[in-house]
Amino acid sequence: MSLAALAATPLADFAALGASWNDLPPDRYLRDGGRYRRRRHASYVVDGDAVRDVPHRAHWQPVDYNALHGGIERWFEPVEPAVAQSTAWRQLLRALGALASGLRSAQPWFVEAHQFRIDTTDGIGRPTPEGAHRDGVDLVAVILVAREGIKGAETRVFDAAGPAGLRFTLREPWSCLLLDDARVIHESTPIQPTGAHGHRDTLVVTLRRGGFQDPAPTA
């Protein structure tokens, strides 16, 4: 099934969101000193057909899941209102919530949406600088928005409990990879320019039961 069919939304409506990736601010938290990543972030609770906006919050992961950037509150700029309130965006969140409930049972889903641009400002860009990892959620949807003037970005998905794995490259705009985060680890290889400059745009949506990942309260 196509992503457009899953969300009951014309593909052109998704494509119209693509221009917003041209206005992502730099990721100020890269610990490898890179300048190759830009992003925005938003959080929601999806419960059936209801999509509730959550007040802007930090993105946080434990070190167990992100050895490079875990353990710190990362306050990224929010997804622009024109994008976050668009019909296509909301329909996509509803569709992914319904898919998660179909797989795990109906319940509220704590959803984080990340707009990423990885570019070749540094000559090379790293989609997953933390390496092969899990995210500490239930499901991860990796959606390719665009790739222009690059080579690389091979997606690698491996069984978390063994050596089996798959390697492939997302090339079609608005193609979607859905991952069971408990069962697999994943990464994408670095990108390099094929000309003067290039970039890869993705939308990553995570769904977690029970609540968001947040740092433990201090005593």
Would you state the pLDDT for residue 106? 98
Would you state the pLDDT for residue 178? 97
Domain ranges of the chain: 3-209
| pTM strictly above 0.85 | yes
**The residue type at 193:** P
**The residue type at 148:** E
Among 109, 100, 118, 96, which Cα is nearest to 35's? Answer: 118
Sign, Cα dihedral of 40, 66, 95, 12: positive
**The residue type at 29:** Y
User: Are the C-beta atoms of 35 and 121 separated by less than 8 Å?
Assistant: yes
Would you state the pLDDT for residue 50? 98
The token duo for 4 is: 């457009």
Domain 3-209 has CATH 1.10.357.10: no
Would you state the pLDDT for residue 138? 97
* CA 219 – CA 4 distance, rounded (Å): 47
Instruction: Show pLDDT as tens, one digit a residue, over the chain (219 residues).
Output: 689 999 999 999 999 999 999 999 999 999 888 999 999 999 999 999 999 999 999 999 888 877 778 779 999 999 999 999 999 999 999 999 999 999 999 999 999 999 999 999 999 999 999 888 999 999 999 999 999 999 999 999 999 988 899 999 999 999 999 999 999 999 999 999 999 999 999 999 999 999 999 887 655
Would you state the pLDDT for residue 67? 72
Phi, psi angle pair for 177, to nearest 5°: -110, 125
Would you state the pLDDT for residue 31? 86
**The residue type at 219:** A
* CA 206 – CA 97 distance, rounded (Å): 10
